[in-house]
Amino acid sequence: MKIGIANDHRGVYLKEKLMEYLEHSGHEVINYGADVTEGVDFPIFAKKLGNGVLNKEIDYGIAICGTGIGMSIALNKMKGIYCAKISNISEAVLCREHNNANVIAISADTNLELVKSMVDKFIVTSFSNVEKYAKRNDMIKEIENNG
């Protein structure tokens, strides 16, 4: 599987550890993020990751910033990107099963072992395609397209 990771200056360490883990697990990982710990503007990297998803360069995206919130907001401004800010394994599963998220956003302060577990669950979970969830996702797309 091809996975893209974007991060700001706060997420450099977690990105490096997560990339190492994912590559060791057999995934191809593309780095869309900052490699410096001096302050950078996270929307630049969020856009690169979002474009990677939209251009089908990657299957899924992972965004890391101080809280995960800023990256999530920026990514969700891009038509066709469905980013969930997650904090636990249940959210990693449900954002795929119910919302068909194609990107997750994580706080740079999250424990590495928890991040590994969340990412593992996110990338192996499929959209359930249950009628009520499909309908709700179509409603989101209608808002995205027409306001």
Please give the positions annotated as active site.
Answer: 65, 98
Q: Are 107 and 66 within 8 A, CB to CB?
A: yes
Residue (of 67, 65, 103, 98) closest to 84 by Cα position: 103
Token code pair at residue 92? 């990693």
Tell the burial category of 110 from Cβ atoms under 10 Å away from its Cβ (0-12, 13-18, 19+): middle
